[in-house]
Each structure stands twice: as structure tokens, then as C-alpha cells.
Structure 1
Amino acid sequence: MPKTALLFPGQGAQHVGMGVKVAEKYPAAKQLFDQASEILGFDLLDVCANGPEDRINSTAVSQPALYVSSLASLEIVKDQAPAVLDEATHAAGLSLGEYTALAFAEALSFEDGLRVVKVRGEAMQAAADATPSGMVSLLLLDVDKVEEVCQQASEHGLIQIANYLCPGNLVVSGDKAACEAVVGIAEAAGGRPVPLKVAGAFHTPIMQSATEKLADILNSVDIKSPRIPVISNVDAESHSDPAEIREILVRQVVHPVLWEKSVRRLMELGVVHFVEVGPGRVLKGLMKRIDRKASMDNYNDESVA
């Protein structure tokens, strides 16, 4: 029996307008946004619909917005390709998307997952505000060369690989001065640096102050063993023990995202069909660089007839 994995996007996939068509067409999706607004204390669908862009891009808003929009997009799959949900054998999500994957796998309830994501986004925003920092996508360089570039830039502050996305696309993260230095060093090495519009140095020790609040909220919610394996960003393995899941979600904030390794692990486990659910097509773009022949579909607002 062919295996299918659902993949959920992370921060960076958000955009003004996401979730609107889904909520308009599917009452169950609209209900998720209504529930979310009560938990968050603001009208999430209105922010998704109207922005402004600066607000939807802020970490404290983009994380819950992506979580809710992605789970709402499952209603499209339920309508257009219900067999996909029945046949899904695995799930994974990029950074924030790991929480969406765990909610899909029923390890977390929708409400509890949103409460955790709310605290995570706020805590990561606070950590970013405390230390001027950022992230830079480095294209066209292999891992060894990016490590060399980081080593050279490290005299300006902390800088390290934060996202192993796909061949030729790695993201480095660190102190602001080091991020500025890495741009010129990467260009000299033949790379194409792209500074990212993010609040700070995610997936590095700069986020350490966010881990305590995240651990507290994770300890306060009920986590069950997932009904299907969810591949973790931290080690590209699945975890069934709730205590282990809590621990690995805390580590994820300060640990590099092993996305390419996670996708290759799913392939090793026999997954032949991937389905990206949620805003944008970021994961499909990465998949083309990991395995151009991989079968992959997308379900988001653009799929709504």
C-alpha cells in the first residue's frame, strides 16, 4: 500500500488573504477561526484578510495564523480528496508546522495546540526583541561552504546554520552584526544571500529565553501519543512518548531544523506521495530540490473553487 505524508508549512509562508476563501466556503473552517479568535483575544480572520502585512508577519501573529489556516485547509482536502486523509500514514511540519502536524495526528487538540503556539510566538518575539538578530538564506552553497562562511562571520557574533532546507538552500541565523557580515562573505564565496524578514535568530541559542515559557505551557496541556508518526525537525525521527514530544518541542526552538533529512527519512519509511496543506507552496519548492521526481500535491486557498 503506497504511503502518504501530510506536510505543513512554517513561518515565512504567511501572507495577507490566507485562510479567507477556506473560511468563506467551509463552515468547519470558519468555526476554527472563530474559536481561535476567542483564545487569541483578537479577530484572527480579519487580520488574515486585511493585515496589515507588518502585523501578519510579526512572530506573535504569524505563528497562530499559520497554525489555524493550515488546519482550516484540511477542510479542502476533506472535500476534494477525502481518501488522502484516510490514507495518510505520516506527517511533518516545518518548524511551527510541526505543531500543526501534531494536531492533525491528534497528539494535541486544536485548542491546546493554539494555546501553545500563541505562547511560543510571543516568547520567540520577546527573545528576538531582547537581542538584535536575524536570519539569512544562503543559496547556491553546499553545507561545508556555508559552515566556512559562518566560521568567518563568527568574529562579528554568533552565527550558525539554522535551517537545513534542501540542497543549495540553507538558512543561517545569529547576531545582527554577524548576519550583516555573512552577506558579503557568502557573495565572495559564490553564494546568493537573501536576508529574511523575520524578528530574530530562530533555532539558535539566542532563543533560549523562550524555552522556559514554552516548557511551562507544554506541561500544562494534554499531549497524547500521535495516531500516525510525526517526524520531528530536531532529529528527523518520530516520537510517541508525550514526555519526549514535550522535550523535543522545547529543543526545537534553539536547534537547527533538519527539513531535508526529515523528508528523506519519510522516503526511507516508504512514503511515495506528499501533500502540502496550508498557505503557500514553500514546501513544494523545497521538495523539487530534494527529489524532483517526488509526487506532491498542494491544498490551500488557491485550491478553493
Structure 2
Amino acid sequence: MTRTAVVICPGRGTYNKPELGYLHRHHAQQTAMFRGFDAIRAEAGQEAVTALDGAARFTVSKYSKGDIASPLIYAASLADAQSLADDIEVVAVTGNSMGWYIALAASGALSPDDGFRVVNTMGTLMQDHLIGGQLVYPFADDGWANDAVRKAELLADVKRINAMDGYDLALSIDLGGMLVLAGNEMGLKAFEASQPNVQDRFPMRLPNHAAFHTSLQAPVAAEGRTLLGADLFRQPERPLIDGRGKVWWPGATDTHALWDYTLGHQVTEPYDFTRAIQTAAHEFAPDVFIVTGPGATLGGAVAQSLVLANWRGMGNKADFQAKQDAQPFLIAMGREDQRALATG
């Protein structure tokens, strides 16, 4: 019996020390695709993805950089998306932030090599410019109960800080029960000073992350458009849900508009991952949501997004866990205990 699935590709921050060797462990048979990626890196005078993945040692200072993290995450995620069990029918694809570039390839809107070129180019540009930074802060409580008032208060504080002379701060990603904020150092520090520490770890800075999805990235978007032509893009083979919740349909996609969104709005405007997941749930009603590796941190944001939409009557974390325990419908391929549920 066929299971329908929405595939969700992760963004930056998902390839960490436990993920070192991910390509070699899970995708030793994908050598031809990885050789192609290594050749693209070699053309740019960059270290091979397979060498990075096969290194003896992981350091945050190196592996959190955009020109290292982005191609590794792309290779791992796309290989995962290509290794799903035969009984799984992918009805739509989406991703979080940089995961949008992976989703483009997983949907067929970019070839694997062209998707790699996009990710490697944008990851390198982000790292070279490194404009601003990011932090994460929750508005939902530990039980994932929606708190729209708290969210509005936090966004009002962001607006207040951003209005101050010399301070830049904006919403970067709407991420389930969390807000990812981005800005310059003064803006980020002002927010950290104005909000209480919660859950022993927030507000949490993200190392080597630029002010993604804000107007501060306009120079990166402009350079990306110069280096990456619209001719790389083609009709997706599967529906593709972007960071606004818009669906790009096979056979009906304006590929120039897709290029324009990818290297325009997607880089300089907020990314609404929550809405992308809720669109996936309501439009496609899949049997399962599959989060490709590496890492498994995105699963929480997917679950929270579904809870915030009261999907299948889930109103909090306990509701989600009860449904998930009864019959797992959220599968994180980066988790050893769940991977076989997607690969068969």
C-alpha cells in the first residue's frame, strides 16, 4: 500500500559533530552524484564535500561556515530524498530557509548539480559578506500552546528596536513556536537585553549565521542573481511549497518567476516556514511528513507548526506525542530510530 508524503528539507545548523561521516554512512552508493559535487567545488578551488564529510575531526568554527555547511547539508539532504522506500509517493516538497534550495532540486526544478551550484554559490556569498547575525527565541511555551499575544509582543519589540537609529532587527524565519530574528550586532544585543532568558537557552545566537531573509542581504541577492542565471530553473516534477506558503505546480510554473523569488524575496524577506508546513498539511493531507537529514532538529518546528494549525485536533505537545506514538506520521531521517520508517 502506498504512503503519501511531504518531504521537508532542513536548513543551516543541521550538520554538527554527530553528523560527521553522514554521506559515507548512509550514501556510500551515491558516489557518482557526490563526485559531481566535488568537481564543482574543485572548479571554485574549494575542499571536496566527500573530504569534508570524511574528515577525522569536527570543529564548529569550520563546519558552521556557510561555504562548508551549505554544500554538506545539501548533499546529505538530497541523497536522503532520493533514497525513500518504494511504497512512498512524494506529493509535495518544501524546506526551511536554505532548505528551499534543496527542495528545488528534490522537486526537479533544479538538477542535482545545478541545485548544488545554487547552494554552494549562495553559501559562499553569505560567508564572504557575513552581514549581521541571527538568534532564536520562542513564543510558545514548553507544552507548545499557541500564545498569539506573546508573539505579537515580541514582534512589536523587534519593530521598536529596528526603528532606533543604527539598529537593525527583523523577523527572519517564522519557525513553529519559535521566532528566528536577524539584524546587526546592535539590534541583536538590544533584543537580548530587553527579553528574559527562557528554557535555560534562549535567546540563542546561531554561530556563523548572517542576517538571512532580511533587507540586509540585498547585496548577496544581487550578486547571486548575477552569478546564477534563470536558465538553471525548469518545471518542477512535484509540487513545491515556498517560504510564503505558495505552491509551485508542475507544468504550470513560470520558471523565471521561480528564479526571481529564489534569488529575491527568499533572500531579503521573512521566511514563513510555519505557513509552508500548514499549507502542506491542508493542501496535500499526507500520510507522513518526512524531514530529510542531516540532523533532526527541524522535526520540532514541523510538529509545532501542525499543532499551531490544530491539525487533526492537535492543540499541544501532549496531543502530538500521543498521535505520534500511536502511529508515527513525522519521520526524521537524521534519527537512527526513525530512518528505517522512510527508507524501508
CA distance in 2, matches of 1:189, 1:17: 26
The worse-fitting range, judged by mean Cα deviation, of 239-248 and 20-29 is: 20-29
What residue in structure 1 maps to residue 271 of structure 2? Answer: 257
Pick aligned residue for 2:102 from 100, 103, 122: 100
Alpha-carbon contact 2:22-2:76 (below 8 Å) kept: no
**Secondary structure of the corresponding residue to residue 67 of structure 1:** helix
- Give, in angstroms, the shift of residue 280 of structure 1: 1.0
- The C-alpha deviation readout for 1:257-291, integer Å capped at 9, x for no partner, is 10001111111103232111121112211122223
- The C-alpha deviation readout for 1:154-206, integer Å capped at 9, x for no partner, is 22511011110012x10110011110110121218999411221332111111
- Give, in angstroms, the shift of residue 49 of structure 1: 3.3
What residue in structure 2 maps to residue 179 of structure 1? Answer: 188
* Residues 220-231 of structure 1: pairs in structure 2 closer than 5 A: 221-231=231-241
Identity within the alignment, %: 20
Alpha-carbon contact 1:160-1:204 (below 8 Å) kept: yes
Alpha-carbon contact 2:23-2:50 (below 8 Å) kept: no
Equivalent position amino acid for 1:175 in 2: N
Alpha-carbon contact 1:20-1:301 (below 8 Å) kept: no
More helix by percentage? 1
Equivalent position amino acid for 2:134 in 1: M
Pick aligned residue for 1:67 from 67, 74, 85: 74
Equivalent position amino acid for 2:33 in 1: L
- Give, in angstroms, the shift of residue 31 of structure 1: 2.7
TM-score, reference length from structure 2: 0.79
Shift in alpha-carbon separation, 1:43–1:229, aligned structure 2, 3 A: same
- Give, in angstroms, the shift of residue 40 of structure 1: 0.8
What residue in structure 1 maps to residue 134 of structure 2? Answer: 135
The worse-fitting range, judged by mean Cα deviation, of 223-232 and 208-217 is: 208-217
What residue in structure 2 maps to residue 89 of structure 1? Answer: 91
Pick aligned residue for 1:266 from 268, 276, 280: 280
- Given the alignment of the two structures, is residue 218 of structure 1 paired with residue 228 of structure 2, yes or no? yes
Shift in alpha-carbon separation, 1:301–1:263, aligned structure 2, 3 A: closer
Alpha-carbon contact 2:134-2:181 (below 8 Å) kept: yes
Structure 1: 5+ residue runs without aligned partners?
none
Alpha-carbon contact 2:91-2:284 (below 8 Å) kept: no
CA distance in 2, matches of 1:146, 1:34: 46
- The C-alpha deviation readout for 1:34-88, integer Å capped at 9, x for no partner, is 22111112221221233433222101111111111111223542xxx2222xx11
* Residues 101-180 of structure 1: pairs in structure 2 closer than 5 A: 101-128=103-130, 131=131, 133-140=132-139, 142-154=150-162, 155=164, 157-167=167-177, 169-180=178-189
CA distance in 2, matches of 1:152, 1:189: 21
Shift in alpha-carbon separation, 1:66–1:52, aligned structure 2, 3 A: same
CA distance in 2, matches of 1:124, 1:277: 23
- Give, in angstroms, the shift of residue 9 of structure 1: 0.3
- Give, in angstroms, the shift of residue 134 of structure 1: 1.1
Alpha-carbon contact 1:126-1:210 (below 8 Å) kept: no
CA distance in 2, matches of 1:242, 1:23: 34
**Secondary structure of the corresponding residue to residue 179 of structure 2:** strand
Shift in alpha-carbon separation, 1:199–1:189, aligned structure 2, 3 A: closer
What residue in structure 2 maps to residue 298 of structure 1? Answer: 332
TM-score, reference length from structure 1: 0.88
**Secondary structure of the corresponding residue to residue 107 of structure 1:** coil
Alpha-carbon contact 2:110-2:233 (below 8 Å) kept: yes
Alpha-carbon contact 2:67-2:120 (below 8 Å) kept: yes
Equivalent position amino acid for 1:288 in 2: A
Equivalent position amino acid for 1:286 in 2: A
CA distance in 1, matches of 2:26, 2:204: 37
- Given the alignment of the two structures, is residue 47 of structure 1 paired with residue 62 of structure 2, yes or no? no
Structure 2: 5+ residue runs without aligned partners?
141-149, 307-319
- Given the alignment of the two structures, is residue 243 of structure 1 paired with residue 256 of structure 2, yes or no? yes
Shift in alpha-carbon separation, 1:19–1:105, aligned structure 2, 3 A: farther
**Secondary structure of the corresponding residue to residue 6 of structure 1:** strand
Alpha-carbon contact 1:153-1:185 (below 8 Å) kept: no
Alpha-carbon contact 1:28-1:75 (below 8 Å) kept: no
CA distance in 1, matches of 2:64, 2:53: 10
- Given the alignment of the two structures, is residue 196 of structure 1 paired with residue 206 of structure 2, yes or no? yes
